[in-house]
A and B are shown apart, each in its own frame.
Chain A
């Protein structure tokens, strides 16, 4: 049976925690001996997910952001969850360059980046309940 390993962190939705979140996740994933490129992909994807929580989910408020990372074999599963305003139309939110935050110079490609930089992306959301983003990334390290 493949061994699995899991960690969970939560933190307040301050933008100063964006760097903490991506660094913490990449530190945990490092035990799989990923390439620099793979690790950078994960850091970028996590940064996008956490930024979405801060900019959109908790736009008018502060709240907690919950991240779990599970490693199973060479697969990393990352969930980023908030209890914010939720997404009314997920399909629309996933469209490239669509953003509801037009005034704040948001590029609207957050979900496109998460999708492009990981192997699988899924988004579950309920208005006024929150959003959970799940990303799966396979690590094909040099040592395996």
Chain B
């Protein structure tokens, strides 16, 4: 399975991450997401974490970095599908001050 699936519909780009996020994996994720983001220049970017069972603070860096890039090209970013573990981690950072956390609304179980 791919570590990340990206699709664009109606200028909304959804990035579904399906791999443990640590310093090792975040390098690859960063490149994949940034390449697509710059190529497609969507109006909205949603990063879906429902396929992520483990994440350390590298995930925070990954989110903040995408937030900065998205902002610089006028894309609005949000994140969704975070399990309770990821949310606990996010609370230790200031990420949630900048980026809204959405609950998944497409009928999939979290």
B-contacting residues of A (Cβ < 8 Å)? Answer: 15-16, 18-19, 22, 37, 40, 43-44, 47-48, 51, 54-55, 96-97, 104-107, 109-110, 112-113, 116
Contact = CB atoms under 8 A, between A and B. Distances in A.
A40 B85 contact: yes
8 contacts: A15-B22, A18-B24, A44-B55, A44-B89, A48-B56, A51-B57, A106-B57, A113-B92
A113 B60 CA distance: 11
B76 interface: no
Interface string B24-42: 1011001000000000000
Contact of B57 (A40, A54, A109): A109
B97 to A, nearest CB: 12
How many interface residues does chain B have, given as a range? 20 to 34
B12 interface: no
The secondary structure that dominates the A interface is helix
Nearest to B24: A15
B85 A51 contact: no
Given A16-B24, A44-B89, A48-B56, A106 B94 contact: no
Contacts of A15: 22-24, 27
Nearest to B94: A97
B3 interface: no
Given A107-B57, A109-B57, A113-B56, A54 B93 contact: no
Contacts of A51: 22-23, 56-58
A93 to B, nearest CB: 14
B24 A109 contact: no
A105 B22 contact: no
B30 A19 contact: no
A37 B26 CA distance: 23
- 9 A-B pairs closest in CB distance: A15-B24, A107-B60, A105-B61, A47-B56, A105-B65, A51-B23, A107-B61, A107-B57, A18-B22
Contacts of A55: 23
A15 B54 CA distance: 16
Given A37-B85, A51-B56, 5 more contacts: A15-B23, A40-B85, A104-B61, A106-B57, A113-B92
